[in-house]
Amino acid sequence: MEVFTLFENGVCIRFFKKRNNRNDTWKGGCPLISVERAKKIIASPEMITVTYNGEKVFLEKIHEKKDTVIVNYLDHPENKAEVLVRDLTEITH
């Protein structure tokens, strides 16, 4: 899956090109989550919507030295992945 990010009138727009060549667009959110923001999201008592490649994820654990985080996919909680923090998107409503 390829991800493209651009800003249009101050709003972040991310385009996800899936394997079936269908393009999905996700509007809103911030293109970069910092390690510090990821820590706040993990510590928050509220559910904060975060995506990785267009799929909603739960942040589990941060590896600061590598700038990565372990995520669980909300639609498939048994699946975990270690991803770069900068590849996460916080969705704002």
Note the pLDDT of residue 90: 84
Q: Where does the pLDDT of residue 3 fall: very low under 50, low under 70, confident under 90, or very high at 90 and above?
A: low
Task: Check residues 86 and 70 and name the one with the higher pLDDT.
Answer: 70
- Which amino acid, one-letter code, is at 7? F
- Which amino acid, one-letter code, is at 29? G
pLDDT digits (tens, 9 = 90+) for 20-73: 554 444 444 444 688 888 999 999 999 888 888 888 999 999 999 999 999 999
Q: In degrees rounded to 5, what are phi and psi of residue 21? A: 65, 15
53 near 19, Cβ under 8 Å? no
d(CA 33, CA 14): 14
Note the pLDDT of residue 34: 83
Structure tokens at 25: 């667009």
Domain boundaries, the chain: 2-90
Report DSSP letters for 15-54, one per residue.
EEE-TTS-EEEEESSBS---HHHHHHHHH-SS---EEETT
